[in-house]
């Protein structure tokens, strides 16, 4: 399985809570589905469950700037589908 380098805390450091969403009191879970490629980068990111366009974009942006240890099969890095949830709380 792919492993997020820095864990969820590292991802949260890259997320900027959109001011418009914060002021509107928008909270919830954004679930993203994507492929972790052989180089450990997220690609083909899609929102499965979103809460607002601004929060969805912030989660995608943070994931694009994150690195993973790629999945391996027989000690060889492989592409793998993965899902991840990001929680926005005020």
When pLDDT is averaged across residues 60-89 and rounded to a whole number, the result is 93
Residue 12's domain comprises 3-88
Q: Which residue has the tokens 């969820």?
A: 8
pLDDT tens digits for range 10-40: 888 889 899 999 999 999 999 999 999 999 9
pLDDT at 59 over 90: yes
Whether the CB-CB separation of 4 and 68 falls below 8 Å is answered with: yes
pLDDT at 53: 95
Task: Give how many domains the chain has, as a whole number.
Answer: 1
pLDDT at 10: 87
φ and ψ at residue 68, rounded to 5 degrees: -120, 155
Whether the CB-CB separation of 14 and 77 falls below 8 Å is answered with: no
Whether the CB-CB separation of 64 and 32 falls below 8 Å is answered with: no
What's 70's domain CATH number? 3.30.2420.10
pLDDT at 61 over 90: yes
């Amino acid at each position: 399985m792919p492993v997020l380098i820095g864990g969820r805390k590292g991802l949260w450091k890259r997320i900027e809570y959109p001011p418009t969403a914060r002021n509107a009191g928008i909270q919830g879970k954004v679930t993203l589905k994507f492929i972790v490629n052989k180089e450990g980068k997220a690609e083909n990111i899609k929102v499965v469950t979103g809460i607002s366009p601004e929060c969805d974009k912030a989660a995608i942006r943070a994931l694009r700037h994150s690195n993973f240890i790629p999945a391996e099969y027989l000690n060889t890095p492989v592409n793998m589908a993965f899902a991840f949830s990001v929680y926005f709380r005020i």
